[in-house]
Chains A and B, each alone.
Chain A
């Protein structure tokens, strides 16, 4: 962590008016894309929407958009992180966010994908979909609570 604690005033992102909000907008738009596409599968698993398709069909239709969204949202998040690394590092909401994000990505590409591409029983589907939705939303909450703690 010490290597990252350079002087934030030397970061180009802190030296013009537009770049920080620009990366924030990209971050928000692409988390809508990644979490939103995962949520479509989750809503199907929960039995709330898209009942005429199977979860496997929806996963097949959305996975590439989820992946592209995740790559951009994490990259832009890292760029934002460099503007003040120590402040983020010592923030409890940010720490939760990092751990939850790691868990959510692993969960998404293991259990979630496996259940969504098989034919799960309604109970398993609801548990897996509901947990996924809650986990991703908690990351959004942590991202916002970072600014308030």
Chain B
């Protein structure tokens, strides 16, 4: 079983079919996905601006990082859960989509970013506060984080601008129902 087959099997489960076919559930999940970008993306943005020394300077770096950690984790979980529900119910629109692939790559790099800067910045905030200005490593971490998240938001929006390859009508793998799904998926966006 290839990854594509697995995606199709997931898509065709009752649960994901129901999400795709509901005229209300699908946009609601998308709205929650987008709202969590606003609410929790804002926390990431302000943390990064604090590390750069551009904003929130009346709050210590330690307070900024520690007091938003739990909310960021909850937000990330909500965002990723909604993302999985969206992509799982319409893999036709995502699987071959270069913007989706770019988005997942950037998301993986967010993980790398956390690993690389945990010791020197995010797990070391009390030490950073003892210095008169945020050190260069904190500024680098903030800039990379901003670039990654901005890239993720833009790639996410651009997903809608990729036309999936048209199925061959005569192909045995494309039943009329399949084609109908693809056309519907495209007009919905």
Contact = CB atoms under 8 A, between A and B. Distances in A.
Nearest to A26: B154
Interface stretch (A44-52, A83-91, A113-121): A44-52
B38 A25 contact: no
Given A25-B157, A148-B188, A141 B59 contact: no
Interface of B: 23, 26-28, 30-31, 34-35, 37-43, 45-46, 49, 55-59, 63, 67-68, 70-71, 150, 153-154, 157-158, 161, 188-189
A49 B38 CA distance: 16
A50 to B, nearest CB: 5
Interface string A39-60: 1100100001111110001101
B67 A65 contact: no
B38 A21 contact: no
Given A21-B161, A60-B58, A137 B38 contact: yes
Interface in A99-123: none
A29 B70 CA distance: 22
Given A25-B153, A32-B153, A144-B31, A53 B59 contact: yes
B39 A137 contact: yes
A148 B26 CA distance: 10
A67 interface: no
Contact of A31 (B38, B58, B67): B38
B55 A145 contact: no
The 3 closest A-B pairs by CB, nearest first: A36-B42, A32-B41, A35-B38
Given A24-B157, A137-B38, A145-B27, A51 B46 contact: no
B68 A36 contact: no
A135 to B, nearest CB: 12
B31 A49 contact: no
A25 B30 CA distance: 16
B38 A36 contact: yes
B35 A137 contact: yes
Interface residues of A, number: 38
A94 to B, nearest CB: 14
A66 B28 CA distance: 26
B70 to A, nearest CB: 7
B45 to A, nearest CB: 6
A144 to B, nearest CB: 5
Given A32-B153, A140-B35, 15 more contacts: A32-B42, A33-B45, A35-B42, A36-B40, A36-B41, A36-B43, A36-B46, A39-B42, A40-B43, A64-B55, A136-B38, A137-B35, A141-B35, A143-B34, A147-B27
Contact of A50 (B39, B67, B153): B67
Contacts of B55: 61-62, 64-65
A29 B31 contact: no
Contacts of B37: 28, 32
Contacts of A140: 31, 34-35, 38
A58 B59 CA distance: 8
Nearest to A57: B58
Contact of B67 (A52, A62, A64): A52
21 contacts: A21-B157, A28-B157, A29-B154, A33-B42, A35-B42, A36-B38, A36-B40, A37-B42, A37-B46, A39-B39, A48-B71, A49-B71, A58-B59, A62-B55, A65-B49, A136-B38, A140-B31, A140-B38, A145-B31, A147-B27, A148-B27
